[in-house]
Homo-oligomer: A and B are copies of this chain.
Amino acid sequence: MNTQKKIAVFGGGSWATAIVKMLSENISTIGWYMRNEQAIEHIKENEHNPNYLQSAELNAEQLDLSSDINYTVENYDVLIFAIPSAFLTSELKKLTSSLDGKIIFSAIKGIVPETGLIIGEHFNREYNVPIENIGVITGPCHAEEVAMERLSYLTIASKNEDNAKFIEKSIQSWYIKTKISDDIIGTEYAAMLKNIYAVAAGIAHGLGYGDNFQAVLMSNAIREMKSFIKKVHKMKRNINNSAYLGDLLVTGYSLFSRNRQFGNMVGKGYTVKSAQMEMSMIAEGYYATKSAFKMKEENGANTPIIDTVYNILYANKNPKKEFQKLTDKLD
């Protein structure tokens, strides 16, 4: 039964392209929605995405490309969303087709700015998608390395094991290993929070802190992440699994992470606005910081790193002074 389900990817960025590439190792026809029609034409003719992850070779015959989100929703059963969270609301507003019976997987590592919800919760509350039809694809994974076919490990989280196994079979290959988890909430929060810690790592670097401090920051970040997620959704989880710690490390140590670059500019003295203008896109960690700060105010988690990033990004506090205060709270 399950193997007859048809899979589509939503989004035209690097991560969406990487997921399409992974699926194309196993599936003959993949639905692919992106709003950019010129990009669609380019992919059909040249078999690579002109704007993102150009190096990933695609096979146009396997792709059912469309710039009509309703076409792709109607014709596919398992919908993998990899649209940056900042654009998700406006994309979903185009929907006239129903999501009834659809299985939704989020590969978005962020929070919906308008609702402050993680993606799974957003689909559940705003679109009545039942929890058992929602899943998460996460793990330490730069899209660039998928294009290069470098070994990567993904975690597929779902309350419905059949759905998780279906995605697992669809994306695993000689360079993609997978693991199944039932912690859909914890993995999504981890994917969101790690962007804040990557911003923090960037600010620290911009301020001149070194590798010794970075190691202490990451060590404190994983402990902070653990206590935050525990407040949101208490269950038995090993925070050192790849979906949590691994994902934090790959982003926090990456010089290519947009979140880290954004933080670095702020640390070097750019205003938040000018750092955002300088970058072509707003880093996910910017929105995540505001939502996470609000949540921790409500649930009482002790989050000195999130507080520091919030004070710098939203309360116009001086990065140098805020980090000096933070250093006394770390150990």
Which residue numbers of A lie inside 8 Å of B, CB to CB?
140-142, 145, 148, 150-153, 177, 179, 208-216, 218-220, 222-223, 226, 238-242, 245-247, 249-250, 253-254, 327-328, 330-331
Contacts and interface: CB of A to CB of B under 8 A. Distances in A.
Contact of A211 (B179, B253, B328): B253
Contact of A240 (B150, B213, B222): B222
A209 B327 contact: no
A223 B153 CA distance: 16
A150 B249 contact: no
Nearest to A208: B150
Contacts of A222: 240, 245
Given A212-B142, A215-B140, A216-B140, A249 B249 contact: yes
Given A153-B216, A153-B330, 19 more contacts: A140-B216, A142-B212, A150-B208, A150-B213, A151-B210, A153-B212, A153-B213, A177-B331, A179-B331, A215-B249, A218-B245, A218-B246, A218-B249, A219-B240, A219-B246, A219-B249, A220-B242, A223-B238, A249-B249
Contact of A250 (B145, B148, B151, B212): B212
24 contacts: A140-B212, A140-B216, A141-B212, A142-B211, A150-B209, A150-B210, A151-B210, A152-B212, A153-B212, A153-B213, A153-B330, A177-B331, A179-B331, A211-B253, A211-B254, A215-B249, A218-B245, A218-B246, A218-B249, A219-B240, A219-B242, A219-B249, A239-B240, A253-B253
